[in-house]
Amino acid sequence: MTTVRFLTGITTSGTPHLGNYVGSIRPSVRASLAANVESYYFLADYHALIKIDEPARIQRSTLEIAASWLAAGLDPERVTFYRQSDVPEIPELTWLLTCVTGKGVLNRAHAYKAAVDKNTASNLDPDMDVTAGLFMYPVLMGADILMFNAHKVPVGRDQIQHIEMARDMANSFNHRYGEHFVPPQAEIEESVATLPGLDGRKMSKSYDNTIPLFAPREQLKKLIAGIVTDSRAPGEPKEPEGSALFQIYQAFASEEEAQALRKAYADGIAWGEAKQVLFERIDREIAPMRAAYEDLINNPAKIETILLAGAAKARQRATPFMAELRHAVGLRRLGEQTKADKKKTVKTALPNFKQYREADGRFYFKLVDAQGNLLLQSLGFASPKEAAQTIAQLQREGESALTVHASHLQPTVGDARQVVAALALLAAGN
C-alpha cells in the first residue's frame, strides 16, 4: 500500500472562522483519519509576519488556531502537528528554493500582483509598501510543502497558483540537482472550497465579513442574522442560487437537508426563518467542539507541549532531508566527493544511472544509454542507500551483479546484451 502525504498550513494572523473550518480544517481532519495517509498540519507563523506587525496578535492567533484544530479532532499522535517557526530547516530550504525560482515567476504571484496593481491604479510607486516578504511568500510556501515532500495540499482556490509554483520549484531543483522532490498537487473540495461571508463575498479576514468558528452560541446567532439577503418578503419564492445563506448551509448540510431548504426557498420561507435553520444546523456541528476549544484556550501550556513534540517529530524528517539537500547543492564538508559529480562530467558520453524517488516514497534507479534510452529499470528500494549500493555493485561487477540483484530489477525489455555492454562501458569509464 502506498502512503499519501497531505500537508496544509494556516497563517496565524487572525481568529479561525467558518470559512477556514469548511475550506481547510474540516477536510484536513477528515483526511487525516483515512488509512494510508500521513498528514502534516502546521501553524504558518512565518507567513503571518508578512501581514502583521503586532506580536501579541500573532501569539494569540497561534493559540486560537492550534486550539481550533485540536478541538476539531486533529489527533497529534496520528499526524504531525507543528508550528512552522519551530522547524529551522524550513527557512533554510526557502533559500535553496529562492535560488532556483525565477523572479519573473514571483512577479506574477497573485498577492504581490494585487498589491502592485492597487498602487498603480492609485498612481503610486508600484512597490509602495510592498515588502520583500510579500514578494517571497510563494517560495516560503514552497519550502513548507517540499520540506516534507507532500503529495497533496488541501487549499482554497486562491492558493492553487502557489501549489503550481511549488511544483515548478520541485522540478527545477530536481533538474539541476537530481530527484529530491515530489511535485505536489492541490486538493480542492469542489463543493465547498470557498464559503461566502456575511456580505456575500468570499469569507475572509480582509473583507471583515467573517463568522468566528467558535463564537459563543448567542454571538453566532447574532452574526448569522446579519448575513445579507434581499428584500423579498415572507411568502415570496426565493432562489438558492446566489444566496450566501444557502451556500453556507450547503457546506454543513447533507444532500437531503439542502434539498429541503431548496424547497423551503421555493415555498417562500421568510429570511428570518431560514437564518434560524442555518444557525441550528451550524451549531449542531460546532457545539461539541466549542467545549473542547474553551478548555484548550485556557490551557496554553498544554498546547505548547503538543506543538513542541510535533516540531520534534517534523524534524526527524526535515533534518536528515535538509542534510541531503545541502549536500546535493554543494554545501558540503571539504574533501567530500561524490559519484554524482564524476558522473556529471561523463554524462554525455556514457550510459548512466539515474536515481529518483517516486510518489510511493520508495527509491528507484534506472540505467539509460548515452542517448537517454532506457536499458534497465529497478523496483522500489526502501532507502536511497540501498538503491545506491545496488548501483555501485552493478557498476563494479557488471553482468554477474545483474543476477544477484535480479529480484530488485524489472525484467529487461530490450536487448540484454546492451545492458551488459553498458555496464562494461561504465566499469571501464570509472
Footprint of ligand TRP on this chain (CB under 6 A)? 7-11, 44, 47, 141, 144-145, 153, 155, 159
Residue 323 is which amino acid? A
At its nearest, how many Å lie between ligand TRP and the CB of residue 136? 12
> Is-contact 376 408, C-beta < 8 A?
no
- Looking at beta carbons only, is 19 or 196 nearer to ligand TRP? 19
- Give dist(CA 42, CA 286) in Å, integer: 22
Taking the CA atoms of residue 127, residue 130, residue 135 and residue 141 in that order, the dihedral angle to the nearest 10 degrees is -160
At its nearest, how many Å lie between ligand TRP and the CB of residue 141? 4
Strand 352-357 to 185-187 pairing: unpaired
Strands (DSSP E) contained in 339-415 are: 352-357, 363-368, 374-377
- Give dist(CA 43, CA 81) in Å, integer: 8
- Looking at beta carbons only, is 209 or 390 nearer to ligand TRP? 209
Q: 328: closest CA among 184, 141, 174?
A: 174
- Give dist(CA 247, CA 381) in Å, integer: 48
- Looking at beta carbons only, is 12 or 355 nearer to ligand TRP? 12
- Looking at beta carbons only, is 31 or 375 nearer to ligand TRP? 31
At its nearest, how many Å lie between ligand TRP and the CB of residue 205? 10
- Give dist(CA 305, CA 118) in Å, integer: 42
> Is-contact 103 155, C-beta < 8 A?
no
Strands (DSSP E) contained in 45-135 are: 80-83
> Is-contact 68 17, C-beta < 8 A?
no
The DSSP code sequence of 115-163 is: HHHHHHHTTS-TTTT--HHHHHHHHHHHHHHHTTT-SEEE--GGGHHHH
At its nearest, how many Å lie between ligand TRP and the CB of residue 64? 15
- Looking at beta carbons only, is 47 or 275 nearer to ligand TRP? 47
- Looking at beta carbons only, is 193 or 402 nearer to ligand TRP? 193
Nearest residue to ligand TRP, by Cβ distance, number only:
9
Strand 152-154 to 80-83 pairing: unpaired
At its nearest, how many Å lie between ligand TRP and the CB of residue 153? 5
At its nearest, how many Å lie between ligand TRP and the CB of residue 155? 5
- Give dist(CA 356, CA 372) in Å, integer: 15
- Looking at beta carbons only, is 145 or 188 nearer to ligand TRP? 145
At its nearest, how many Å lie between ligand TRP and the CB of residue 94? 11
At its nearest, how many Å lie between ligand TRP and the CB of residue 40? 9
- Give dist(CA 13, CA 164) in Å, integer: 24
Nine cell digits for residue 149:
515532500
Number of H helices, E strands in the chain: 18, 8
User: In this structure, what are the phi and psi dihedrals at residue 174, rounded to the nearest 5 degrees?
Assistant: -60, -40
At its nearest, how many Å lie between ligand TRP and the CB of residue 374? 34
At its nearest, how many Å lie between ligand TRP and the CB of residue 24? 7
- Looking at beta carbons only, is 48 or 224 nearer to ligand TRP? 48
- Give dist(CA 50, CA 32) in Å, integer: 29
At its nearest, how many Å lie between ligand TRP and the CB of residue 96? 17
- Looking at beta carbons only, is 68 or 159 nearer to ligand TRP? 159
- Give dist(CA 357, CA 386) in Å, integer: 13
- Looking at beta carbons only, is 141 or 253 nearer to ligand TRP? 141
- Looking at beta carbons only, is 42 or 265 nearer to ligand TRP? 42
- Give dist(CA 306, CA 65) in Å, integer: 13
